């Protein structure tokens, strides 16, 4: 018999008997697991993203539900990203219920966000626009019905493979990739996507957020040696609307995941959480070349991956610490609509076409008016959610396409070293502009289902919860 065997067995038994997150040498660890599940729709499923109906005709690349589960030994959270246009409240509630049933993770500790890919399926959510795009058709209803279980499966798989990990994080920059799509024009107006090399452009009507935040999840190892990663969580603010057409694609977040796997290993799960990018896209109006198609998605994914790889030289260790979660339902006021506007909207949704700018704006206005009228004066009720890991990392969920100015306000006021914004999370109410944009007009504020000031209400709610969680950390309070 090997004389070392009893010692080895004793050590193994000791390690297996220790609480989660505590190694045999009393070193604290965070436990984590990551997984992804394919959620691509069947051919013919109605697609989301625009104002005209189209059905999927094939596949460029698969869509996924990607999950990262973090476990401090006492508390667990799940971060889920979906290669979809959006999330709905019904979808999130059903998925959370199934996740809790399968893993025990409370629904309030599950954050589900969408990348905002415009080449995926319509979700059946009862909105007037999505109904017009095929949200009530059998394939859309069937897809929406089975999606919660697929999301839960991704979390369940991630939960099952939890193990001790080391976390490291950094914030890099990816300049000259994202652009504000609103512009001050020579006639004094504010335009939306005014076209390439438009001589009437004066200057952008807003800013961008070039920060790319990264959380790297790796097995314990000598930091001087390379090991394949378990997961990479990426946070960057830019619309994914590059592929277009009727073929299903995860757009540039899918291309990014492929580039990350080239270095971090094929088993690494890359989760992409879109930041506050309601007024940000990839269109460089000073560049004459067309920026559409899967080639453009691959170009963008490669450039973003390059920025991440450069930033990884500056990764800092994230010490194991307590996970904390907080969630709040916030009420947002509605814009006013008149009976005449409602009557006009009912006509326009039947007659207007999105092939001209005038027809497009009529449709935008009509769908907004009908959705607001359907609420019969009841304010929008949306969720703002915050996760924190020690004093170092924080995540904030926001329920729509949020203007970049609002996301930056949260980051600037956050007490945490690195704060990541996940928009289109835990449901969506569409565009959420900052207050100034409402007076400037055009597409996003015209489309917005919340009244001016709604975005600032969300910022205040998020900052209040961030500060509360920071106080809990300093005071050593338990997760609630």
Mean pLDDT of 418-444: 97
DSSP string, 277-317: -TTEES--TT--S---SHHHHHHHHHHHHHHHHHHGGG-EE
Cβ contacts of 289 within 8 Å, gap of 6 or more: none
For residues 21 and 455, the model is more confident at: 455
Q: What are the contacts of 186-193 at 24+ separation with CB within 8 A? A: 189/441, 189/442, 190/440, 190/441, 190/442, 191/442, 192/442, 192/443, 192/444, 193/281, 193/283, 193/443
Tokens of 237: 């603010």
The model's pTM is: 0.93
pLDDT per residue as tens digits for the range 219-277: 998 878 889 999 999 999 999 999 999 999 999 999 999 999 999 999 999 999 999 99
d(CA 82, CA 64): 6
d(CA 388, CA 398): 15
pLDDT per residue as tens digits for the range 345-358: 999 999 999 889 89
User: Which pLDDT does position 258 carry in this prediction?
Assistant: 98
d(CA 49, CA 63): 15
User: Which pLDDT does position 121 carry in this prediction?
Assistant: 97
pLDDT per residue as tens digits for the range 164-220: 999 999 999 999 999 999 999 999 999 999 999 999 999 999 999 999 999 999 999
Question: Vertex 264, ends 262 and 270: CA angle to 5°?
Answer: 90
Residue 277: count of CB within 10 angstroms of its CB: 26
Q: Residue 274's closest CA among 217, 212, 328, 192? A: 212
What would you report as the CA-atom Rg of the chain, rounded to the nearest whole angstrom?
23
d(CA 308, CA 315): 10
For 432-451, b/e burial (b = at least 16 CB within 10 A) is bbbbebbebebbbbbbbbbb
Q: Residue 277's closest CA among 175, 407, 396? A: 407
User: Which pLDDT does position 476 carry in this prediction?
Assistant: 65
Cβ contacts of 224 within 8 Å, gap of 6 or more: none
């Amino acid at each position: 018999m090997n004389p070392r065997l009893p010692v080895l067995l004793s050590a193994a038994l000791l390690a297996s008997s220790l609480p989660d997150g505590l190694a045999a040498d009393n070193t604290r660890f965070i436990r984590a697991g990551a997984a992804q599940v394919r959620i691509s729709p069947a051919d013919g499923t109605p697609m989301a993203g625009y104002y005209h109906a189209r059905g999927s005709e094939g596949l460029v690349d698969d869509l996924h539900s990607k999950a990262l589960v973090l476990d401090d030994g006492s508390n667990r959270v799940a971060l889920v990203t979906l290669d979809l246009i959006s999330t709905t409240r019904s979808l999130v509630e059903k998925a959370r219920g199934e996740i809790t049933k399968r893993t025990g993770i409370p629904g309030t500790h599950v954050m589900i966000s969408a990348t905002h890919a415009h080449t995926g399926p319509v979700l059946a959510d009862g909105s007037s626009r999505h109904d017009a795009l095929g949200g009530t058709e059998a394939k859309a209803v069937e897809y929406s019905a089975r999606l919660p279980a697929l999301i839960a499966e991704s979390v369940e798989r991630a939960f099952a493979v939890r193990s001790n990990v080391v976390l490291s994080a950094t914030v890099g920059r990816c300049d000259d990739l994202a652009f504000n799509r609103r512009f001050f024009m020579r006639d004094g107006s504010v335009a939306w996507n005014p076209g390439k090399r438009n001589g009437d452009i004066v200057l952008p009507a807003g800013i961008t957020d070039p920060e790319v935040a990264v959380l790297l999840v790796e097995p314990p190892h000598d930091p001087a040696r390379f090991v394949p990663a378990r997961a990479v969580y990426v946070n960057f603010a830019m619309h994914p609307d590059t592929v277009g057409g009727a073929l299903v694609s995860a757009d540039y977040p899918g291309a990014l995941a492929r580039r990350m796997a080239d270095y971090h290993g094929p088993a690494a799960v890359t989760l992409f959480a879109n930041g506050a990018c309601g007024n940000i896209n990839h269109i460089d109006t000073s560049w004459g070349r067309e920026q559409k198609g899967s080639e453009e998605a691959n170009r963008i994914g490669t450039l973003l991956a390059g920025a991440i790889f450069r930033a990884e030289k500056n990764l800092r260790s994230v010490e194991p610490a307590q996970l904390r979660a907080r969630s709040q339902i916030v009420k947002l006021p509605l814009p006013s609509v008149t009976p005449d506007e409602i009557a006009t909207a009912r006509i326009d949704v039947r007659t207007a076409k999105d092939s001209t700018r005038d027809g497009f704006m009529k449709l935008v206005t009509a769908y907004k008016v009908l959705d607001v009228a359907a609420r019969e004066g009841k304010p929008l009720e949306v969720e703002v959610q915050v996760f924190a890991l020690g004093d170092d990392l924080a995540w904030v969920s926001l329920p729509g396409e949020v203007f970049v100015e609002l996301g930056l306000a949260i980051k600037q006021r956050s007490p945490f070293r690195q704060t990541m914004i996940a928009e289109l999370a835990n449901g969506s109410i569409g565009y959420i502009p900052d207050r100034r944009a409402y007076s400037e007009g055009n597409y996003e504020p015209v489309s917005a289902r919340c009244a001016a000031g709604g975005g600032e209400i969300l910022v205040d709610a998020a900052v209040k919860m961030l500060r509360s969680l920071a106080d809990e950390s300093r005071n050593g309070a338990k997760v609630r």
